[in-house]
Structure 1
Amino acid sequence: MEEKLSQYRQWAGVTQAEMARTMGIPLRTYEDLESEKAKFRPVHANAARWALLEIAAKNDDVSRLPAGISALVFKVGKLLENKKGGH
């Protein structure tokens, strides 16, 4: 299933303005992307995923992260732990 920008925002539990700000794009651009007036490109998906991580870190709450992102974060966390233990 292809994820939509509105799904990312709903997972984060934020407004369009907050999601746009966190993604680093103007609100109008965000609105056009979410309403599908503008094409949602891979670069937008990456910015949205990164925004979800920033929002989760800011709120100290990873419970709203999609499973795929949570799994990736967990894996990277383990890699960092192993690296820290090796030095």
Structure 2
Amino acid sequence: MGENSTAELIDLRKSLGLTQAQMAERMGVAPRTYQDLEGERAAVRDIHMRAAERAALDIAIERGNPMLAPAPVRRAALRLAQMILGLDPIDHTPSPPPETKTAPRPE
């Protein structure tokens, strides 16, 4: 991850309407750490992007606006919801229940 990740992090924060301090709090990092990420004094690692995406998902839910979450996060959330609802992820029809083996009843 390099400059692109720094730009992605900044763009995500701005799209959420957060200050650096607010984004730092949402991500669970110190404000100085976040400033270092945006200022390219520290490398933006995958864990930072995942924390920022999770923050965006939380904010999207809080504000009732799913478009605030990045597209990959929305797709993953949709797949999870489909699994929870027992829907086939392709055609949205109920999936057949998993086969279960039942032990014979003693007589």
**TM-score (ref. length: structure 2):** 0.69
Bigger fraction of residues in helix: 1
Match of 2:52 among 48, 53, 66: 48
Give runs of aligned pairs for residues 1-87 of structure 1, distance below 5 A. Answer: 2-3=4-5, 4-82=8-86
Query: Is the contact made by 1:11 and 1:66 (CA closer than 8 Å) also made in structure 2?
Result: no
Aligned residues with identical type, % of pairs: 33
- After TM superposition, where is structure 1 displaced by more than 6 Å over at least 4 residues in a row? none
When normalised by structure 1's length, the TM-score is 0.82
Task: With a CA cutoff of 8 Å and minimum separation of 6, indicate the structure with the bigger relative contact order.
Answer: 1
Q: Deviations over 1:22-69 (max 9, x none)?
A: 100011110110111111011111111111111112222212222221
Deviation at 1:11, TM superposition (A): 2.7
| CA RMSD of superposed structures (Å) | 1.8
Unpaired segments of 5 or more residues in structure 2? 88-93, 98-107
Larger Rg: 2
